[in-house]
Amino acid sequence: MSENRPLIGVIGSGSETYPAFSVPLGRWLAEKGCDLINGGGGGVMSSVAQAFAEISSRKGRVIGVIPAASPCDTKEGRSAYSPPKGYPNPWVDVPIYTHLHLSGDSGKETASRNHIIILSAEKIVAFPGGAGTRSEIQLAMEYRKPLIIFNPNGEWDEFKSEPTPVVKDLGDVLQWLENTIAANE
């Protein structure tokens, strides 16, 4: 029988790793017995996943929701299926390969894997990022998922008027996670 572990989504830049923040968060999640879900690529996704995976006593898994490199809306497209280069990153334990190819500015469209990541996560931590991360933040709010926005340098000031926490300190993120995970036990 499997344990019921909190499934925490960590979203953020696909190119910047923010190791001063992503590494402690990944370790904390693993040590607290959580599962981690993200997009399975580079940047924050790989940095937090690597830190998580390096905890030898962890019970949780890294789940990566993997995009398609190109549309799969024809027989030819499906027969040429492949994930984008670099997906999944080496620390993904459970890759979920999808036919969904859109991201970035198109991250809220139905052919984007962002919906799966947001809907699957019980709680979501948003790191700094670009248009794809912005779309995930917007989806989390629209789907009314528990979300905290980590805003160390004002990257996400545009969301300060929203009814979701926008914080500058990683300690606030960890405290929020501690409180919201405990509330579900």
Quick: pLDDT tens for 75-132: 999 999 999 999 999 999 999 999 999 999 999 999 999 999 999 999 999 999 999 9
Side-chain-side CA neighbours of residue 153 (13 Å): 4
Percentage of the chain beyond pLDDT 90 is 96
pLDDT at 2: 55
How many Cβ atoms from other residues are within 10 Å of residue 71's Cβ? 13
Domain definitions of the chain by residue range: 7-183
Res. 185 pLDDT band, cuts 50 70 90: confident
pLDDT at 1: 41
pLDDT at 164: 97
- For the chain, the first-to-last Cα distance in angstroms comes to 18
Q: Are 150 and 128 contacting, i.e. CB atoms less than 8 angstroms apart?
A: yes
Sheet holding 147-150, edge to edge: 94-97, 62-66, 35-38, 7-11, 123-126, 147-150, 166-167
Instruction: Reply yes or no on whether the pLDDT at 56 is more than 90.
Output: yes
Mean pLDDT of 12-24: 98
The Cα 115–Cα 113 span in angstroms is 5
Integer CA distances (angstroms), 147 to 7, 46, 108, 132, 160, in order: 13, 20, 17, 16, 13
Where does 7-183 sit in CATH, by number? Answer: 3.40.50.450
How many Cβ atoms from other residues are within 10 Å of residue 124's Cβ? 27
